[in-house]
């Protein structure tokens, strides 16, 4: 009897959560690549594409730490992100600083977990926000102590963020850009929050992800020309 009551209570929440993620917009991210002269910095690709988990055991499962987190695939970015990166680097002052840039990782995630869980909780008749990932106090991530709640999977580097990183109302796009400039390694984690909650607006979603890719690229340019710091 107790199990039946639990099923009746939580089944609508689970079904609404699956429905919400199924309604996520089609991912087409359009980048405005600057025009650069031929030659310049050579960008080489050494990436290993991560394998996504099955939908119902990852991004579509409200009880998974990956719920609501989507990785933007290579074919969903126009032009391809390395082509964009090559153009951006060679159109910048970094062109005179390095000869080759090898890329080990260039992954882009959008994390709508908190927003979707709030919506699912509201549809299920429970208090909004009741499914938000629990606070992990004093946790250290790459030398930085966080006092907020973790939204995502701890230590996976797969689109997770901490609530003390929040700067705006919407969900964040998170970019990991790693590699070597000549022989000097760089490692960038760029977090950019949307100005508004816009998970069901494809145009806004695309523009936000594109802005995050642009911000990560600019961080790399700043590093290469000596005016930035490793992230």
For the stretch 20-38, pLDDT in tens is: 444 455 568 999 999 888 8
Q: Does the pLDDT at position 13 exceed 50? A: no
pLDDT tens per residue, range 202-226: 667 788 899 999 999 999 999 998 8
> Quick one: CA dihedral 142, 208, 75, 54, positive or negative?
positive
Which pLDDT score, from 0 to 100, does residue 130 have?
Answer: 40
What count of Cα atoms within 13 Å lies in the side-chain half-sphere of residue 130? 11
Which pLDDT score, from 0 to 100, does residue 145 have?
Answer: 65
Pick the closest to residue 148 from 159, 130, 160 (CA basis). Answer: 160
Q: Read off φ and ψ for residue 70, nearest 5 degrees.
A: -120, 140
Which pLDDT score, from 0 to 100, does residue 215 have?
Answer: 95
CA atoms of 212 and 214, how far apart (whole Å) = 5
pTM: 0.79
pLDDT tens per residue, range 116-154: 877 766 554 444 344 343 434 444 455 566 667 888 998
**Which pair of tokens denotes residue 103?**
């890329």
Which pLDDT score, from 0 to 100, does residue 128 have?
Answer: 38
**Which pair of tokens denotes residue 179?**
């590699």
Pick the closest to residue 111 from 29, 202, 175 (CA basis). Answer: 175
Query: Are residues 184 and 94 in contact, defined by beta-carbon separation less than 8 angstroms?
Result: no
Query: How large is the average pLDDT for residues 92-102?
Result: 90
């Amino acid at each position: 009897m107790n199990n039946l009551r639990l099923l009746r209570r939580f089944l609508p929440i689970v079904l609404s959560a699956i429905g919400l993620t199924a309604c996520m917009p089609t991912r087409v991210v359009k980048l405005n690549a600057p025009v650069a002269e031929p030659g310049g910095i050579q960008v080489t690709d050494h990436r290993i594409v991560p394998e996504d988990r099955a939908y119902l055991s990852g991004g579509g499962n409200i009880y998974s730490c990956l719920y609501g987190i989507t990785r933007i695939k290579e074919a969903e970015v126009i032009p391809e992100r390395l082509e964009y990166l090559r153009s951006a680097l060679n159109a910048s002052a970094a062109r005179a600083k390095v000869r080759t840039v090898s890329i080990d990782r260039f992954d882009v995630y959008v994390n709508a977990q908190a927003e979707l869980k709030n919506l699912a909780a509201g549809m299920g008749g429970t208090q909004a926000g009741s499914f938000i990932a629990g606070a992990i106090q004093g946790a250290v991530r790459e030398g930085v102590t966080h006092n907020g709640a973790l939204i995502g999977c701890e230590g996976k580097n797969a689109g997770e963020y901490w609530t003390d990183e929040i700067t705006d109302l919407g969900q964040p796009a998170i970019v990991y850009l790693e590699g070597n400039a000549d022989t000097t390694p760089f490692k960038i984690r760029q977090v950019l929050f949307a100005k508004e909650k816009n998970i069901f607006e494809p145009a806004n979603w695309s523009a936000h992800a594109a802005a995050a890719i642009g911000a990560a690229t600019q961080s790399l340019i700043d590093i290469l020309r000596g005016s930035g710091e490793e992230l």
